[in-house]
Structure 1
Amino acid sequence: MGPVEALVQPLGAAWAGAMLVSGLAFRRRAWLAGVTSLCLAGGLWLVGGTPFSALLLARLERPYDRIHPVTLPVADAVVVLAGDIEFSSRELLWFGTGSSFERSLTGLEVMRQGKARTLVVSGAPFNWLGSARSESDLLTAWIRSWRLPAGDLQRLPACKDTHEEAVAIGDMVRKRGWKRVILVSSASHLARGAAACRKEGVDVLPVGCDFQALDALDRPEHWWVVPRSEGLIRFERWLHEELGGVWYWWRGWI
């Protein structure tokens, strides 16, 4: 992506607008407005034009880097946290995939390598024709119709957040007498997800995927004149996990 293309993105356009306002303000000697606009432009550039946001997010991902399923011991089940699909009545599969679809793919790969006999999928609630459903129903139907390596395929009830998932996982573990499960999620989310499950008494082996920050740092391009929206997305994900961790700690969920 070139600088002209970056300028038509929301972040690039906002940065250019802040720079323009700053220049006009300084020209008219409106120092406070000029400094404020310049600081805003600098903040946008820091987030989207430098490796800053990737470095922040990489701190959450790095503990789970290069954990290969081959090195894992056998567990009772593989549990995949929700967040990688979204219901869509227009798609042939009834769902669209997001940037975290690696969660489902990684869970299936761990199953294919024989690390557990049961695959557990989760999903957020959605409404269809007046009835409440779970996205886990859609994943289950897809896995079965494609005959993917899922073993004893199970699904959690509809869960609105990671805490509800952890409670549901804990209930399933106790009812089935499981000792240990492999927990699959985006690497940046695993610390909070694993902590929430352990709070419910579940022994988890975390397996990460969706390494957005570490993959970005592996690429040669880290600096841009015009900030890009990818940096803002990584910063939002980092902030979501950090604030989420504080909230979960305050509520006693981790």
Structure 2
Amino acid sequence: MGFLLSKLLPLLLYPLGLGLLLQLLGLAAASKGREQGSRRRRQASLWLSGTGVGLIWLCAMPLSSRQLIWGLEDRAAALTPRQLPRADAVVVLGGGLRPALPPRQGVEVAEGGDRLLRGVQLVRRAPPLLVTSGGRVSFTGHDPAPPEALWARDLAEELGLPADRILINPGSRTTAEEARDIGALGRRRGWTRVLLITSAFHMPRSLATFQRRSGLTVVPVACDYQLPDRAHYGKPTLGNTLKSLLPDAEALYLSTLALKEHLGLAIYRLRGWS
């Protein structure tokens, strides 16, 4: 139940959930205001509803979402060294794959699938092991999908990595659990340094958590950048500026990703996990 609540409650703090909640509170205040003839309640309803709409609009603007994502991805790029040192293992965090369930013909790569592709690329260049990570995160009854670490291993083998160079971490459902469990795996195997691969927007939280909980020297390798950096984005035009001020579903998604990471990092710090 605690894990379920940890996934559900933040949905009310993300832009869409919080914006809709404010609008519902505004409707309730308006209804009460009409019943009681209260001007103050009617004014409060307008303020609540307007704030809800404004919040969603602001976060759905490409102009806003770019700034939020750049704030995380610029940090990830600065953290990733140009020359990667030798390490005992390449750790690929869960996310970015879809299981081989019908009608799919095999494991499929989604937006964050760059994580596994980058990991396979690095292991091919040097002798360390690949660690695929990710548990089963599902609230569906009798979900037939195995833990993500297993699909990632299967795809890595299809991409040419020998089975004896792949380890799995199938029991971790969160970044904090991945850091703890991979740290324990590393201690059992005598590791001192690992390369940590995850999406750029997720790297600041992941690195801080692994440094705090794994007991290993962690070298960040960011990938899956959502945007080119500011210097390579291009110059604004009138059309681009106007489009950047209008709401867009993809921009709302990117803003939510960024805010989720900031909220997650704040919670992890409060709990002593990062």
Is this contact kept in 1: 2:150–2:170, CA < 8 A? no
Q: 2:117 aligns with which of 99, 102, 105?
A: 105
1:233 equivalent to 2:253? Answer: yes
Deviation at 1:149, TM superposition (A): 7.4
| Larger proportion of helix | 2
Deviation at 1:97, TM superposition (A): 3.0
1:163 equivalent to 2:183? Answer: no
Per mean C-alpha deviation after superposition, the further-off stretch among 207-216 and 169-178 is 207-216
Is this contact kept in 2: 1:51–1:223, CA < 8 A? no
Q: Give the Cα–Cα distance (whole angstroms) in 1 for the partners of residues 59 and 84 of structure 2.
A: 36
- Corresponding residue for residue 131 of structure 2: 120
Amino acid at match of 1:71: Q
Describe the shift of the 1:223–1:48 C-alpha distance in structure 2 as closer, same or farther (beyond 3 A).
farther
- Corresponding residue for residue 153 of structure 1: 166
Provide the TM-score with structure 1 as the length reference.
0.76
- Corresponding residue for residue 183 of structure 1: 196
Residue aligned with 2:111, SS? coil
Unaligned runs of 5+ residues in structure 2 are: 1-15, 24-41
Q: Give the Cα–Cα distance (whole angstroms) in 2 for the partners of residues 125 and 37 of structure 1.
A: 38
Is this contact kept in 1: 2:147–2:171, CA < 8 A? yes
Is this contact kept in 2: 1:50–1:223, CA < 8 A? no
1:139 equivalent to 2:152? Answer: yes
Q: Give the Cα–Cα distance (whole angstroms) in 2 for the partners of residues 69 and 112 of structure 1.
A: 19
Higher relative contact order (CA 8 A, sep 6+): 1
Deviation at 1:64, TM superposition (A): 2.5
Describe the shift of the 1:130–1:235 C-alpha distance in structure 2 as closer, same or farther (beyond 3 A).
closer
Describe the shift of the 1:80–1:135 C-alpha distance in structure 2 as closer, same or farther (beyond 3 A).
same
Is this contact kept in 1: 2:91–2:195, CA < 8 A? yes
Amino acid at match of 2:186: V
Describe the shift of the 1:39–1:198 C-alpha distance in structure 2 as closer, same or farther (beyond 3 A).
closer
Deviation digits for residues 80-120 of structure 1, max 9, x if unmatched?
A: 00011233521111x44332111111111222332x42111
Provide the TM-score with structure 2 as the length reference.
0.71
Deviation at 1:59, TM superposition (A): 1.3
Deviation digits for residues 139-162 of structure 1, max 9, x if unmatched?
A: 212221331478711111221101
- Corresponding residue for residue 210 of structure 1: 224
Q: 1:59 aligns with which of 71, 83, 97?
A: 71
Describe the shift of the 1:126–1:249 C-alpha distance in structure 2 as closer, same or farther (beyond 3 A).
closer
Q: How high is the sequence identity, in percent, across the aligned residues?
A: 32
Unaligned runs of 5+ residues in structure 1 are: 1-10, 19-29
